[in-house]
Structure 1
């Protein structure tokens, strides 16, 4: 075991190389399923070729590695220097798809919006504490619930075989999706420790193997992929800076920063190095830099992954250099296009089974946030949630509702997540004007809440 000065905090210690490598790989496996789902989701929604889908996976892993290194090791005033694994945020998925789906914009507008938004929000980091009064649990919980609900529809399409597939809804596709979900549940129920944390990855792997045995995995693109390939900036072209797209991505990053501030504060408590305001500001600057790095290397904004924070708590290994080692592994994996092509070849039905669990958990996390908002005591908060959900689900249930809206607003009108967040922020500010609170005189009796909720 490496010796270390008695006054060195465990966060700054460096484990022996063998242990560091094994612990780092454990972190990569824990976050891998969530990380690869986002680029596959974007590629599927935009109907990209398998080659481009594989490249998005490589680009995501590469950017994950860079941003994680920045967060763990730090550069000047950027990086919290704690054991953090950074992964692509689900908050930005639907807005990114909405932007990229617009004629004349495409993926280059997504990347331009991420770069510009990261630079715009960077100077605002000291104000994140004040943003908590605006982005309350009611607002952020509604946002997470909308994200999950919006993505569940995509997961169901995948589980049936992928929209437009000739065998859409076939018994074989449904069986593969069900088998993937069943494996995830079995591992969660009977697995212990690290294996339980990797339930989704194990479920996807088992479904993949079953699909291969049924002859449903096409490896032609894996064979055609080069052995080595660098991830380069602006692979899909120079970024496009569209004002509406940038505004939508600014909202995404602001929501992400509020979420990250809670995660990083919790991590400081887990590793027994309390997060000071200065530390938090450094960590949030890394989030902003992550948006810029993501835009440069063909990906979307990043945030700290809760499952890896849970892994730190479970293992008791607090060294930030373990997470830096995980970042190095991700950078290495990004160099092998055949691996990314193998990931991109996952049958949609297998991916759909895993995604149904993953996206359902995103929605459930929103419900958990809403449970902390004391909805049983506040008419105002019930109205915020009810109306925001209704507005946010418009693009999901009626995609042509905003058909006559100006085209410049398309990144907003096509993204239910952004519509819901903006509505929640506006309603929260309006209904809370003048200092309204969930006091007894403003509250509703507990037994009336179901009726109010059902009416909404």
Structure 2
């Protein structure tokens, strides 16, 4: 770990080929999580094959646009941290519900309204920074990593727990072998090879899957060569108060999670985030959501797994992220390229996620090591992480509550964060703003 930090501390000059490899590593890390949302939404709304192909391709394209908005600093937008954006899973349940009960138009109207809401309250939300001292942010980042570990294990098993092949020997071999390759490279390799350990692990796992006959190239031949984004492809946005309110609750949930990712990256890159930085970050995600509604895709937010990539590679520059955003734009316009990436077995990606999410959780523990371990601070850490993990392992705990309330309470990261903030204020009082 110290070796990683020393590497990141150096002003590493990256050649174009090395930058491309690092960018591709970022892309693969987020790819599975991103295409999962359009796959689930498309299935829930009964999209046909042509509609599904369009949705996935344009979603990937919009990920590139959203990432550019966040990485490039402008007078109004851009937190300028090494982060890749993807479709926000927090909106999944609300979009499915609105799309099936009220229609696609109201679903996309809710997406646009959520984007406008995030943009407008960005300044107010950023002013809450004082409620995020180290004891809170450290707990939240630990939660972000550890609450995603079950997702990694589900992917190692094959992704779909209802599938008869879930947890098959081939899935387990591919998943844990991928994780083992990444770990071995981190332990024994040096220099640039060490920095692309996740990419190498995914490639090795995919090659073994080919040898085992587990990859079917048919999707490549069926995909189109070119796909141009079109506004309002599925439906013209419509607006209605209850659907909008549901989406606003999801937006707040997403902003809380993004805050944790921002602070995690700031800690890794040794940058002191200001309220203005946070405001720019929220604004970028708000604009990305508005564009998502216009082009009939999704709201977009920071991806936690890419925090693990930055930690593992030790490369904290923005250049690889710019390249990754460019790759996403190209993949989105050329569905055949996107189809190649979709061939990577879910179990292989799950093995990579296991290491990456674990590193995110370890980063949170590292931050908590700087907190004075008083009884009050220990209570903040213990209860917030305990509740967050508890909600994650028992997501149906609040099933008797209204769907809009479940949108917030079913998210372990959000519940844990809210718990940490409230307990820190109650137990630490005036110390709540300085992290002591």
When normalised by structure 1's length, the TM-score is: 0.73
What residue number does 2:410 align with?
Answer: 414
- Alpha-carbon distance in structure 1 between the residues aligned to 2:394 and 2:307: 33
1:133 matched to 2:135? The reply is: no
What residue number does 2:30 align with?
Answer: 35
Offset at residue 341 of structure 1 (A):
2.0
SS in 1 for 2:424: helix
| Greater displacement, 157-166 / 42-51 | 42-51
Give the count of matched residue pairs.
Answer: 411
What residue number does 1:119 align with?
Answer: 116
Offset at residue 214 of structure 1 (A):
0.9
Question: Residue 340 and residue 121 in structure 1: after superposition, are their counterparts in 2 closer, same or farther (change >3 A)?
Answer: same
What residue number does 2:366 align with?
Answer: 368
- Alpha-carbon distance in structure 2 between the residues aligned to 1:53 and 1:144: 34
- Alpha-carbon distance in structure 2 between the residues aligned to 1:276 and 1:130: 9
What residue number does 1:358 align with?
Answer: 356
Offset at residue 134 of structure 1 (A):
0.8
What residue number does 1:399 align with?
Answer: 395
Structure 2 portions without partners, runs of 5+: 1-12
What residue number does 2:157 align with?
Answer: 160
SS in 2 for 1:332: helix
SS in 2 for 1:229: coil
- Alpha-carbon distance in structure 1 between the residues aligned to 2:227 and 2:126: 42
SS in 1 for 2:131: coil
- Alpha-carbon distance in structure 2 between the residues aligned to 1:143 and 1:105: 33
- Alpha-carbon distance in structure 1 between the residues aligned to 2:300 and 2:288: 6
Structure 1 portions without partners, runs of 5+: 1-14, 444-456
**Can you list the C-alpha shifts for 1:160-200, whole angstroms capped at 9, x where unaligned?**
23312222222222111122112212222333333322211
- Please give the root-mean-square deviation of Cα atoms over the aligned residues, in Å: 4.2
What residue number does 1:7 align with?
Answer: none
Higher CA-based Rg: 1
Offset at residue 353 of structure 1 (A):
1.3
- Alpha-carbon distance in structure 2 between the residues aligned to 1:139 and 1:111: 34
What residue number does 1:252 align with?
Answer: 254
What residue number does 1:177 align with?
Answer: 175
- Alpha-carbon distance in structure 1 between the residues aligned to 2:76 and 2:197: 37
**Are the counterparts in 2 of residues 59 and 299 from structure 1 also a CA contact under 8 Å?**
no
Question: Residue 125 and residue 102 in structure 1: after superposition, are their counterparts in 2 closer, same or farther (change >3 A)?
Answer: closer
SS in 2 for 1:393: helix
1:426 matched to 2:428? The reply is: no
2:216 corresponds, among 207, 215, 218, to 218
SS in 1 for 2:84: strand
What residue number does 2:245 align with?
Answer: 243
1:77 matched to 2:76? The reply is: yes
1:331 corresponds, among 329, 349, 353, to 329
Offset at residue 411 of structure 1 (A):
0.6
- Alpha-carbon distance in structure 2 between the residues aligned to 1:386 and 1:280: 27
- Alpha-carbon distance in structure 2 between the residues aligned to 1:423 and 1:208: 41
Offset at residue 229 of structure 1 (A):
1.3
SS in 2 for 1:133: helix
1:143 matched to 2:140? The reply is: yes
**Are the counterparts in 2 of residues 24 and 326 from structure 1 also a CA contact under 8 Å?**
no
Offset at residue 116 of structure 1 (A):
3.6
